[in-house]
Amino acid sequence: MKKPRLSPGEISVKQAAEELQLSERTIINYLQAKMLKGTKVNKVWYIDAVSFAAFKQNFKMQVKRMKLGGINSLPKLHLYRQARFIFGQWDLSFLQETSPATINRRSQIERLAELALAEIGAGFYAFHQAKKVAIYEKSRQYVGNMLALLYWWLDQAQEPYTDPALPHARPENPLTEKLWSLINTLENSLLPCYASLLRRLERKAR
């Protein structure tokens, strides 16, 4: 059955897009994700005006928070800048995949770096605070996966070191030194950025 016009308690996708200065496709995505309440008749969405009013208020608060924090675009996010710099500088060519034990390990690490960076972008553009936290946590998990693979490779590369007085001493050979450099960069430069951002988001949620 065709619905001829909007009722007083409804607005169109076009109206919603104009008010929020977003694309109509984005508004439809919000409707499909049930972040906005509406009904669909003959491929046309009709948005509940009350639901939209609440959504609009939350949306404006989110934009205001981003502007007050000085972060209104992804390249300004410190975590993104740091991850992009670290992954952009990486040269994993020294990781030789010449044995069955190391096949695909290097490509796995490279893929995990891509996924971690992509999730940072997804988290930045997510709407709800809880969703942002969940996506950034997922990105951090990818970094954890990378560290697990690097530590695995380190175990394969170095001779067992059993001096009880120096349990964490690093063998002096080029391969292990490069691996330790990658590990330290992730643990001491990148992971703290995740921790800082997630703590800030948690404080805002209180």
As a whole number of angstroms, the distance between CA 200 and CA 206 comes to: 10
- The pLDDT > 70 percentage for the chain reads 79
The pTM (predicted TM-score) of the whole model is 0.61
Task: For residue 71, name the pLDDT band (cuts at 50, 70, 90).
Answer: low
Q: What is the CATH number of the domain that holds 63?
A: 1.10.1660.10
Task: For residue 4, name the pLDDT band (cuts at 50, 70, 90).
Answer: low
Is 204 a residue whose pLDDT tops 90?
no
What value does the mean pLDDT take over residues 5-12?
Answer: 80
Of 149, 152, 170, 153, nearest to 161 by C-alpha is 170
What value does the mean pLDDT take over residues 37-59?
Answer: 86
Query: How many other CB atoms are found less than 10 A from the CB of residue 128?
Result: 12
On whether residue 4 sits in a domain, the answer given is no
On whether residue 155 sits in a domain, the answer given is yes
Identify whether residues 107 and 57 lie together within a single domain: no
Is 121 a residue whose pLDDT tops 60?
yes
Identify whether residues 107 and 157 lie together within a single domain: yes
Q: Specify the number of domains making up the chain.
A: 2
pLDDT, residue 169, reads 53
The burial of 121, by beta-carbon neighbours within 10 Å (0-12 exposed, 13-18 middle, 19 or more buried), is given as middle
On whether residue 15 sits in a domain, the answer given is yes
Identify whether residues 96 and 185 lie together within a single domain: yes
On whether residue 189 sits in a domain, the answer given is yes
Identify whether residues 182 and 148 lie together within a single domain: yes
- First-to-last alpha carbon distance for the chain, in angstroms, is 46
